[in-house]
Structure 1
Amino acid sequence: MNLISQLTSSFQQEFKTKPVLICSPGRVNLIGEHTDYNEGFVLPAAIDKAIYLAVSPRTDNELHFIAHDLNETYQGSLTNLKPTHTWADYLLGVISEFQLAGHKLGGLNCVFGGTIPMGSGLSSSAALENGIGFALNELFNIGLERVAMVKLSQRAENEFVGAKVGIMDMFASMMGKADHVIKLDCRSLDYTYAPLRMDGISIVLCDSRVKHSLVTSEYNTRRAECEAGVRFLKTYYPEIKSLRDVTMPMLDKHLRDTEPLIYRRCAYVVQENQRLLDGVAALEADDIAAFGQLMYGSHEGLSHWYEVSCPELDILVEIARQQPGVLGARMMGGGFGGCTINLVREEALDDFTNLITKQYKARTGKDTYLHVCKIQDGTNLIS
């Protein structure tokens, strides 16, 4: 029995009614890391690893949730929404934000489960938030556009859950389009789709099995370093608002010799934005090999200029780079652990899997788990 059938069966057994079924995918980011909070560009896509939700409205104000994979339950009320510091907060936060925005809701039944590997950095929390928001919009005929739901998901995680995340994860999960990546302007939220023709090429994630132990503290430090660079440059260029407005000649003239650490951080962001724009041009020209080389450049910048990689991620990229049939590889996400993302020709996939598994184990003593992904549409109604 597949997961959707299991969720449907569990739902009908518990609530004695037929559910509405929703798929809300995880995401990858092809290029453009740590650019979002600097008002830059990102290039994510929704993938075929997802959260699935079975939902129905209730005739009262109660909320009944079942986390199928965890075999855990939550019961509460619309009239008393408080953080629980558990998985339930990702659903409660979205419900709270819908109510704060003035939308009238009723009680809700929900059973959910997923195929997103835990701790892989594929944004299972954003998928769950989008899924429940999409469900509320459907069940209670609220009529919100997708971008409005994305903003409510982000606010739920920022305010109710308490994680000050950017908008990329929710945006990619909700707005994804099969066979395309999203070029998202994190300043304006303007977006366009760029084709990602993956005939004969697989997206492969290699899990370093290293937990992101430093990511929160170092994330805050990197953000502060970027802001310090902008403040310094503003004395010369009052019109700049963020690193989005900064050029390499500005950095070379005013920061390279006086503030070498701040220079490296800012230079990475400026160069990464340009790599992304060059990458979109490569995709539009159907030049996936050129795009892959830009991914390698992104990893070099993340590792040596922004310094958010770790030895294990560097080793995974180094091994990938030596394998025939690998077009590009880089670390993905906040850093200090998690996954690398690799573009691998399908005829080379078996050799790549065998070699990277053996060599990574030999060099680190750790196993790596591989996940092959396809790009799919964003959050959607199954039935």
Structure 2
Amino acid sequence: MLSTTISDSFLGRYGYPPLLVRAPGRVNLIGEHTDYNGGFVLPAAIDREILFAVGLNGSTTARLFSHDKQEAHEVELTKGVLAPGKPMWANYLTGVMAQFQQRGVAVPGFDCVFGGNVPMGAGLSSSAAVECGLAFALNQLLDTGLSRLELARLSQQAEHEFAGVRCGIMDQFTSLHGRAGHVVQLDCRSLEYQYFPFNSQAYHLVLCNSGVKHALADSAYNTRRQECEQGVAIIRQYYPATQSLRDVTLAQLEAYRAALPPVVYRRCRYVVEENQRVIAACQHLAAGDMVAFGNQMFASHAGLRDDYEVSCSELDVLVQIAQAHPSVLGARMMGGGFGGCTINLLPAHAVADFVLAATVAYQQELNRPLETYQTTIVGGVSVLGPVLANN
């Protein structure tokens, strides 16, 4: 059991009982690249998670150990302002420490062992789980009293400043606010949210891992954000109240299409349409119309492929395979793009047949093995409990 493995590793290295915290990864059913544009998303926390064993050590040094990489790293907490460095995995954790310090919290020395089963580079937000798990643990140990929303903001800022990825808040919000058996519609501008029940008995979400992560993913992510900001700046000349693409209608976009560079126009059109798809998808979910919901997923992938241009041949092949299967209701690439997973919606009874068919077809098409994950929707970050020394 993962929790036992992590707690035993901590006890073996440091010799005292830690606080044990779990932080889930997430899926996003629809609403991709809308979060940093002030739009709508529809994510859920899943049973792929990062486990943390954390305890205060009475020193001024943070001693970190990545169980998955079997690597140790130390951070001295009293030598001025913390800064990014190497190894890269430690930046996600150091960034969280820095954010506590920026909020006036004196972070004392602590020990941390972490590891999990969120596949890296699969678009399931392993980085947010790492950030949120440590943030939650330190909040508990230091009795800081920060809300889950503030911890999400803190973790997002850590990723901006220490990992160099200007992500929206969806990943961190979902890891902290997930609810078992529900998806959450999040308004990324107001941060208002509402839960929608998802019948995990009747319908399953199957993730198909393309097995690739193209190198341009992070740089392209930041470029897309800049292109959207460029579009907003141009549209604001005609509609001064425009703050983000959330404020833009398709009619407005078309009216001033000539003022936008063609690439910027396509980026903006995708985001405006994707926001509309999220709203429609939630209405279909509330009405129990899973076929219509799935059609919104297929349309989302087409927009990501053609207008936002963050898909890749491997992801496109996986969606084509899903579209050819009679039981699949919807499929789309998920995450930042250029690799990672597709998310597929289908009736529970058809899962085994789809997984077999997709595995065979992907091997035939691209001569690549296909890894699939069946996920359960779970609650957000939580304490599993202190580990007793005699366990």
Which deviates more from structure 2 when the two are superposed, residues 260-269 or residues 88-97? 260-269
- In structure 1, the residue matched to 2:8 is 9
Which deviates more from structure 2 when the two are superposed, residues 78-87 or residues 148-157? 78-87
Change (3 A) 1:226 1:88: closer
- In structure 2, the residue matched to 1:31 is 30
Q: Is the 8 A contact 1:212 1:338 kept in 2?
A: no
- In structure 2, the residue matched to 1:83 is 84
Within-5 A mapping of 1:219-368: 219-255=221-257, 260-368=262-370
* Per-residue deviation, 1:55: 1.4
- In structure 2, the residue matched to 1:375 is 377
- Report the residue type matching 2:93 in the other structure: L
Q: Is the 8 A contact 2:204 2:374 kept in 1?
A: yes
Q: Is the 8 A contact 2:75 2:94 kept in 1?
A: no
Q: TM-score, normalised by structure 2?
A: 0.93
Mapped partners of 1:162, 1:259: distance in 2: 26
Q: Is the 8 A contact 2:312 2:339 kept in 1?
A: yes
Partner of 2:339, secondary structure, is coil
- In structure 2, the residue matched to 1:48 is 47
* Per-residue deviation, 1:251: 2.0
- Report the residue type matching 1:354 in the other structure: L
Mapped partners of 1:17, 1:229: distance in 2: 54
- In structure 1, the residue matched to 2:388 is none
Question: Tell me, which stretches of 5 or more residues in structure 1 are unaligned?
Answer: none
Q: CA RMSD in A?
A: 1.7
- Report the residue type matching 2:9 in the other structure: S
Partner of 1:65, secondary structure, is strand
* Per-residue deviation, 1:130: 0.6
Mapped partners of 1:313, 1:347: distance in 2: 24
Q: TM-score, normalised by structure 1?
A: 0.95
Mapped partners of 2:128, 2:249: distance in 1: 33
Q: How many residues align?
A: 382
1:46-89 Cα shifts (integer Å, max 9, x gaps): 11000001111122222222211111112232213443322122
- In structure 1, the residue matched to 2:180 is 178
Which deviates more from structure 2 when the two are superposed, residues 326-335 or residues 97-106? 97-106
Mapped partners of 1:261, 1:91: distance in 2: 36
Within-5 A mapping of 1:16-165: 16-80=15-79, 81-86=82-87, 87-165=89-167
Mapped partners of 1:308, 1:351: distance in 2: 29
Mapped partners of 1:154, 1:324: distance in 2: 39
1:306-342 Cα shifts (integer Å, max 9, x gaps): 2221122111111111112211100111222111011
Q: Is the 8 A contact 2:122 2:339 kept in 1?
A: no
Mapped partners of 1:105, 1:258: distance in 2: 47
